[in-house]
Structure formats: C-alpha cells, structure tokens
C-alpha cells in the first residue's frame, strides 16, 4: 500500500469474502495500528463480511481484547445481507460462493457506471456468474492449473467458463497456488474465454 501511496489510515471500507487466514490476516494489524498513540484513527472504519463475520470478530476480541477494539474512531463490523449495500458512491451486492458456508463474492457498481465483481475463493457456481453479469472487470481466483483441480477452487479453464457465461468485459485471475507457476495459465483459459485475460500481480493498477 505504501508503494502505491496509501497507508492503513486511508482505508474506509474493508470487504472480506471469508475468514480463511490468507484472506483476513491483515485485519488485526490494521485495527491494532489504528490505535497507535501518536496518531490514532478518528474517521469511521466499516468492515463487512459474510455470515458469521460478527461472531468471528467477537472471537478476535476474546483473543486480543482492547488491542483490537476501537476507542478513538467508530468501528462498524457488519455482515452483508442479500440486499444491496450503498456506501457513499458505491452500490455493493453479494452472493454466497461455493467454497465454505460463510464465503461470499461481491459486485461493486461505481457512480460512473463501471462495475467489477470479485469471487474471493470459489468453485464453479451460478452465483458468481450472476454477480459478474456484464461487469467491466471480473476478478476470479485461479488456485490450481487444469488437471490438478481441488474442490472449492477454480482452474484456468473453469474461470474462463465463468467469464464467458457472465459476459464480463475483462478477466483478472489471481490467488495462484505455487503449482500454477508450472503451467501456462493464460493458454489454459484463453480457449474458453475470448476476452482480455490479465494475470494479477502485486501493485497492479487496472484502468477500466
């Protein structure tokens, strides 16, 4: 974040897809840093997650106590509902994903008419196709290469199928397990999805 000119203090809204450690481990450091005595956070922070997110946060409080509680700023921990969430200029929609019982994906619609969807972790399911319908960019997990599929995760060709069926305008693949380095992910995806395929990298910025 510092390398793209942002700090943890600039965050206003955190959208979590599920509570697996590779997706949520930054939450505790962010909350802890927001209490640093030299410049404690004052503006509101909204953290949104799927079903069970509030109980997860209660467990964190049991573990860390006041270290993760907010005193100087309003902190809202919210479980997203089936209805849309309006946050400033954003309209946010979610649906359950085929991963764990608590996992959700998001569709975010911007004021200028652009839209994006993000799966978090998921297997092939109709919900991500519906969420991503005609979005400007679809961010899909792509954990394992074709031929090495693991239940609850996608491969390049399955991600391509979701992209094709959702008619998204661009596909960005991310969440590669190390085994993906041994495969040509794009060449497994492109026969299925004819649109632009981007392989996600740290610090990448995408213009819609």
* Residue 121 contacts Zn ion per CB under 5 A: yes
Nearest CB to Zn ion, comparing residues 109 and 121: 121
Residue pair 70/114 in contact (Cβ under 8 Å)? The answer is no
Which listed range, 54-62, 66-74, 113-121, 122-130, lies at the site for Zn ion (CB under 5 A)? 113-121
CA atoms within 13 A on the CB side of 29: 6
Residue-by-residue DSSP string for 41-96 = --S-EEEEESTTHHHHHHHHHHHHGGGSS-SSS-EEEEE--SS-EEETTEEEEEEE
* Residue 20 contacts Zn ion per CB under 5 A: yes
For the chain, the C-alpha Rg in angstroms (whole number) is 18
Rounded-to-integer distance, Cα 77 and Cα 57, Å: 8
* Residue 151 contacts Zn ion per CB under 5 A: no
Residue pair 161/149 in contact (Cβ under 8 Å)? The answer is no
Q: Is the dihedral of CA 190, 154, 158, 134 positive or negative?
A: negative
Q: How far is the CB of 82 from Zn ion (least distance, A)?
A: 21
Q: Please work out, in degrees rounded to the nearest 5, the angle formed at the alpha carbon of residue 99 by the alpha carbons of 89 and 17.
A: 25
Which listed range, 8-16, 72-80, 114-122, 179-187, lies at the site for Zn ion (CB under 5 A)? 114-122
Nearest CB to Zn ion, comparing residues 121 and 123: 121
Which listed range, 17-25, 27-35, 85-93, 196-204, lies at the site for Zn ion (CB under 5 A)? 17-25
Residues in 21-40 that interact with Zn ion by CB under 5 A: 22
Q: How far is the CB of 9 from Zn ion (least distance, A)?
A: 26
* Residue 177 contacts Zn ion per CB under 5 A: no
Q: How far is the CB of 59 from Zn ion (least distance, A)?
A: 18
* Residue 200 contacts Zn ion per CB under 5 A: no
Residue pair 135/166 in contact (Cβ under 8 Å)? The answer is yes
* Residue 201 contacts Zn ion per CB under 5 A: no
Residues binding Zn ion (CB under 5 A): 20, 22, 121
């Amino acid at each position: 974040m510092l390398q793209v000119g942002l700090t943890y203090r600039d965050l206003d809204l955190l959208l979590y897809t599920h509570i697996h450690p590779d997706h949520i481990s930054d939450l505790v450091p962010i909350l802890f840093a927001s209490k640093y005595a030299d410049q404690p956070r004052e503006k509101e922070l909204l953290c949104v997650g799927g079903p069970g997110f509030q109980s997860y946060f209660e467990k964190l409080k049991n573990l860390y106590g006041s270290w993760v509680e907010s005193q100087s700023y309003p902190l809202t921990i919210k479980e997203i509902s089936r209805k849309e969430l309006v946050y400033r200029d954003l309209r946010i929609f979610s649906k359950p994903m085929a991963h764990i019982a608590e996992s959700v994906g998001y569709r975010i619609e911007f004021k200028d008419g652009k839209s994006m969807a993000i799966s978090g972790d998921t297997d092939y399911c109709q919900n991500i196709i519906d969420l991503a319908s005609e979005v400007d960019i679809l961010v899909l997990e792509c954990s394992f290469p074709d031929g090495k599929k693991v239940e609850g995760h996608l491969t390049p060709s399955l991600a391509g199928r979701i992209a094709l069926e959702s008619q998204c305008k661009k596909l960005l693949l991310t969440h590669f397990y190390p085994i993906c380095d041994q495969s040509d992910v794009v060449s497994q995806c492109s026969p299925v999805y004819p649109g632009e395929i981007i392989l996600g990298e740290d610090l990448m910025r995408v213009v819609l």
